[in-house]
Amino acid sequence: MAYSMTGIGRSSGDLKDPLIKFDVEIRSYNHRFLDVSIKCPNSLLPFETEIRRDVQSNITRGHIVVVIQQDREIMPTKIEVDKALLEAYLKLAGELRSSYRIKGNIDINTLLAIPGLIKFSQPQFVSKDIYKAFRPILKKSIKSLMQMKKKEGDNIAREIRKSVKKMEEYARDIERVIPERNKYYKKHLLSIVKGFQKNLSEERLYQELLYTAERTDVTEECKRLSSHLLLFKDSLRNEDHPGRRLNFLLQEMQREANTLSVKANYLQISKTVIHTKEEIEKIREQVQNLE
């Protein structure tokens, strides 16, 4: 099972008391870690932590943008005047009038237009009731997002499995070619030895043969590559959030492929390794989209 790191979820719902409609949209983008951004109306600002916690309980990676809108303002039950701000404003107005002989009167409309002069607030218990009624709408949006992430994740995993299958075939191809390649090297070494038989001691000859065999043997690299592919398939099949682990395994596969390419020094194996690297790059691009 795997989830895509990108997706979108939407939901809407009505509250009965107070009568109000909420619209929720959650978008998920690729990101190395989990980063949650929330844009919500004033009525839900005290509950950003709870909203973030609900998102984090379902998602482990990605840049998540939560946008919550309501169709009308909730009427506050408490209205206050910032008296300190009002007094400072009136004092400044009086000083300007006396110092610069400015004429004119300050009316109520001018005072009400001062930013921050009037404060609106909801009692805490009212806000809690609003959030309690809103939470099912949020969860519905999260569920919608996860369904889309799952659907896209299944599509990505399907494409990855195709590449993994090809890589398994390539690994088997290399293993089948190894005896042929060893036979070629044996013949090649014997022809070299014949030309220098008089100048080489038997001990030195065996040392050179062992050194060459060790330096060019790719059997272990093939086994490790096949082992990484098995772990990769298992992680893709059984983990809900395999993205980081798959990235690590891809790095190991790339390392084995590079070693195979250098040590094999045989055209048929080199061609197969090139195809293997191409599939690794295809998978790497796909894995970047997995959570």
Whether 25 and 10 have beta carbons less than 8 Å apart is answered as: yes
**Nearest CA among 165, 146, 162 for reference residue 291:** 146
Q: Is the peptide bond before 18 cis (omega within 30 degrees of 0)?
A: yes
Q: Which residue, chain included where needed, has tokens 């809108």?
A: 69
Q: What pLDDT does residue 125 have?
A: 47
- pTM, 2 dp: 0.70
Amino acid 139: pLDDT: 97
Q: Which amino acid is at 30?
A: N
| Structural domains present in the chain | 7-74+125-151 (3.30.230.10), 78-121 (no CATH), 153-287 (no CATH)
How high is the pLDDT of residue 25? 97
91-to-84, 111, 252 alpha-carbon distances in Å: 11, 13, 73
CA atoms within 13 A on the CB side of 197: 4
Q: How far apart are CA 132 and CA 180, in angstroms?
A: 71
Question: What is the pLDDT tens value at each position of the chain, 291 positions in all?
Answer: 789 999 999 999 998 877 889 999 999 999 989 999 999 998 888 899 999 999 999 999 999 999 999 987 665 557 788 899 988 988 888 888 888 878 888 888 888 888 988 887 665 546 788 899 999 999 999 999 999 999 999 999 999 999 999 999 999 999 888 888 778 777 777 776 666 655 656 666 666 666 666 667 788 888 999 999 999 999 999 988 899 999 999 999 999 999 888 887 788 888 999 999 999 999 999 999 999
